[in-house]
Structure 1
């Protein structure tokens, strides 16, 4: 269950999930759903009826607390759900690394552009990491967002409205796709601020090789996710940690 596949990170994530599950003789079905009015309840029903063996999710769809159970074969990527094991990268440290690199290059007037409004309420760990560094050194910083799930045209219009003059010397984005869209817009303005991203996918790197970003270890995360899920399927009472956090690498 993914919120979209427009982000190359999710495309890579699903490719690795499918490969790991196939190696264990499981087939995978992809469902895209990021509707805030939906829940995971229909899929829990299918799980309990034996129509599916397990669930891997990175969608925002919630589970009602009364139906949550750590005995169910469910694992989550980067989304916290009641009584579900979550695997994610160290987003907070990634935010630190990005901000420290930006400051080391002498940038003092900074825009943090999130690809999701929900990231601002409350601030997610990527933003928290950046802001803790920027605020400590008392640099001028502004935070705003675009609607990542909107059409490409809408996102480009939003970026053009936010970045309407060369007033920032660095623009820090919470994902690589937003960073690429920002670069396209600023190039058209003949304006060349430092731009940073987050995720480190090879796809984006091929278009924007100079992008400073944080690489998530997707191969390692998906391998462990599949291992945990299969163990949960066969041994429901086996204990697992509630959270597994993977280190990140700064690509600069």
Structure 2
């Protein structure tokens, strides 16, 4: 049975039972939520239904008052703020939420999405690594459950989304640095394979550099989870001698500032630093971070409202784009006139 290809339009619960290796009665207990069934068997039945393209909206006629949420990580406050907005809107509608974290890993993303689908939610709000190739998003669409992506750009047509214009936002901030006199600007980002947002922001940096007649440097891609703890910029600074570093999010920007300080460099006197997201604690570090604020809690509320409207049949999927908000800080300044070939090594070795 596992080798058989089934047309999703003709798939029945009998086909699902055959693929899962269980009885029709077991499938019935799983899809209705009535009767005993082990967690392992429940996962097998749901996986079989998804593999066969059997619409789980049809399999689960009785959804629970639950909104499922899939995000990369709660360690980044930007996602926590969005979840707060989702939960607030869900509670006002008498709903509960279930949360999963993918750790910026496409494989975990897919597995967690399948688990969340099995909870029979009214729909899901998710931030995926790349919406154009996300198997997790494809699972939701096959299941015919309402889905809204949040933060993701280039979400496929027909899928609801709430996101800011990352590319335009970063271009605007890069233009500021160029206007201050910076010509040697680096872009440090979370790995593009883990974040379409990082890729869009780098594209905005390239746009600004090329428009100014400058050569964009290749991106410095780092792991989101590990880099939030520490980044060693020694080789980067020696090779490129930048006067400014643009980080693809605020957490990375804060880590960049710490790394520069360990190297004996001052921000913004020696190197200007910018971030992205506008998380609250970035306003309280010294120097106050120059960044772009996303209205994350509002975006979460919008996503939940859109999902509820879709689930009740009141609205078709829409793609909403709230405005980003430039947030001026003290972490940028005009570049110093200095001997770029020696500045970093001199700072690191003041006695040499």
Query: TM-score, normalised to structure 1's length?
Result: 0.85
Secondary structure of the residue that 1:29 maps to in structure 2?
Answer: strand
1:218 aligns with 2:296: yes
Deviation by residue 1:126-160 (Cα, 9 ceiling, x = unmatched): 1111211111212243221111123655x424x44
Matched, 1:230 2:312: no
Query: Any conservation in 2 of the 1:74–1:229 contact (CA below 8 Å)?
Result: yes
Structure 1: give runs of 5+ residues left out of the alignment.
none
The root-mean-square deviation of aligned C-alpha atoms, in Å, is 2.9
Q: Distance in 1 between matches of 2:145 and 2:112?
A: 14
| Residue 172 (structure 1) aligned with residue 246 (structure 2) | yes
Q: For residues 114-125 of structure 1, what are the structure 2 equivalents within 5 Å? A: 114-118=189-193, 124-125=199-200
Q: Quote how far apart the aligned CAs of 1:247 are.
A: 1.4
1:105 corresponds in structure 2 to 180
Q: In structure 1, which of residues 240, 244, 247 is the aligned counterpart of residue 317 of structure 2?
A: 240
| In the alignment, structure 1 residue 6 sits paired with structure 2 residue 85 | no
Shift of 1:96: 1.6
Q: Could you tell me how far apart the structure 2 residues matched to 1:170 and 1:151 are?
A: 19
Map 1:83-232 → 2, pairs under 5 A: 83-118=158-193, 124-142=199-217, 143-150=219-226, 152-153=228-229, 155-157=230-232, 159-164=233-238, 167-191=241-265, 192-208=270-286, 210-232=288-310
The Cα of 1:35 is off from its aligned counterpart by: 2.8
For residues 25 and 120 of structure 1, the distance between their equivalents in structure 2, rounded to whole angstroms, comes to 32
1:250 corresponds to: 326
Aligned partner (choices 106, 111, 118) of residue 36 of structure 1: 106
CA contact under 8 A between 1:90 and 1:248: conserved in structure 2? yes
Gaps of 5+ in 2: 1-69, 329-352
For the residue of structure 1 that corresponds to 2:182, the secondary structure is coil
Contact preservation (8 Å) 2:128, 2:195: no
C-alpha distance in 2, partners of 1:115/1:195?
Answer: 16
Q: Kindly state the Cα deviation for residue 21 of structure 1 after the two structures are TM-superposed.
A: 1.2
Q: Which residue of 2 aligns with 1:62?
A: 135
Measure how far apart 1:162 and its partner are: 3.2
**RCO higher in 1 or 2 (8 Å CA, sep ≥ 6)?**
1
**Residue 74 in structure 1 maps to residue 147 in structure 2:** yes
